[in-house]
Structure 1
């Protein structure tokens, strides 16, 4: 007979999903550039821009008065603390990276991800220390939006959703799938607690990491267009990197301010 999840856990899960969505809406996903100096081609199709702008204004208000101030305070904490949070969040996300590596048909990257997770979870004290990185086993990102792109699913129109933020329909669908997938498949209170810590830490750490970029974009004449286009470019690069399937980034040349524009 299945054991019903207590109401407090349901409430906590709802808060976790909302926080994760908020983080996704307020940050741009960093994308590794494939082994080429040329950015991946992309197109922006924004048929309901007036509606998107209205939702964007709502999301920006939440970011300006809630998330960004917390992220700025977090950046003032000791580097050791920030590194520990970043490493823990990254390690807890490795199982989903592993799943997407498999779905993309990249066996070599999946082995790398699995090895990193095992080493960092054990020797690295639940991922607080990136032992794998010190061993030269570099981490890479992968998510369901990238997987859909690797499968050649079209990005679709721009969709600005409350809390989820700016992105194309393909990536928005990927985020929903990500929330529904539980690689651990456990009702353990310990796993639930670690998951909550990972989500909250990821929200703050991710927003703090994006602050330099968003601060520059906010200085542009049209922040909505600037963020929309940079996100589209980075996601296109991210999909191209997934199709390339490299185990680690090996940049052959220096980017000429692409992320600063």
Structure 2
């Protein structure tokens, strides 16, 4: 009789296999040489706004009384500690970046990611030290939401997920899929522990880096609308970056960082 871990691994493999098949069917229609500055100006489609605002109110309460205070305390830690946490989380996520690089058909970026992960996981002490960055092998981000965008899958309506925040349906699907896909498998207690540490550390580190943005957005008359529109713009730029296969240039405006809290 198959164990729960075996069944979970089978689901993960099936999910990844579906992505590869879908990617092979859609990759031909994506514009891999799109201009990084050609961010599409699409207004967020929010037909379920009343429901989303209700979930947003819950998320904001959790953020105001738990996550944001922890993030502010985290920002008071020495820079070396924050840098170590950030580097470890980023390195632990590199295998998923690698998967998305492949699904986006970007061989150069996939080799870059694989090399970074191998070097930082060994010489960099499980990624605590960004040795690759010091050698000029720069880090980049990629996720399933970006991959779906590179495949020209439509944004879909705005979805506010409990604890996961604001996104469009395409990115929300990517977030859920990211939890289901584990490149490391699930048969090691050590890896499960490292995964938990990465999830907690990544949540706090990401929230801490987003604090300046969210504090500015809170000063407006409608925090929900301001955050929703800001996330939509940043994710649109992130997809353009994926299609171009390179980071956005400074003259094109703000980088597509994932400030989604």
Question: Which TM-score band applies after superposition, normalised by the shorter structure?
Answer: 0.7 to 0.9
Q: Secondary structure at the match of 1:198?
A: helix
- Cα distance in 2 between the residues matched to 1:3 and 1:50: 42
- Cα distance in 2 between the residues matched to 1:238 and 1:97: 14
Shift of 1:253: 2.6
Q: Secondary structure at the match of 2:59?
A: helix
Query: Unmatched 5+ residue regions in structure 1?
Result: 6-33
Shift of 1:39: 4.1
Conserved 8 A contact 2:39-2:240: no
| TM-score (ref. length: structure 2) | 0.83
Query: Unmatched 5+ residue regions in structure 2?
Result: 6-33
- Cα distance in 2 between the residues matched to 1:250 and 1:226: 23
Conserved 8 A contact 2:241-2:248: no
Q: CA, structure 1 residues 90+42, in 2 after alignment: closer, same or farther (shift >3 Å)?
A: same
- Cα distance in 2 between the residues matched to 1:258 and 1:63: 22
Shift of 1:40: 3.7
Does residue 236 of the first structure (1) align with residue 249 of the second (2)?
Answer: no
Conserved 8 A contact 1:109-1:245: yes
Which ranges of 4 or more aligned residues in structure 1 deviate by more than 2 Å?
Answer: 1-5, 34-43, 249-259
Larger RCO (alpha carbons 8 Å, 6+ apart): 1
| TM-score (ref. length: structure 1) | 0.83
Equivalent in the alignment of 1:253: 251
- Cα distance in 2 between the residues matched to 1:196 and 1:258: 26
Equivalent in the alignment of 1:118: 118
**Structure 1 vs Structure 2 CA RMSD:** 2.1
Equivalent in the alignment of 1:145: 145
Aligned residue pairs total 229
Q: Secondary structure at the match of 1:167?
A: strand
Equivalent in the alignment of 2:71: 71
**1:113-133 CA-partner distances (Å, limit 9, x unpaired):** 000000000010000000000
Q: CA, structure 1 residues 229+199, in 2 after alignment: closer, same or farther (shift >3 Å)?
A: same
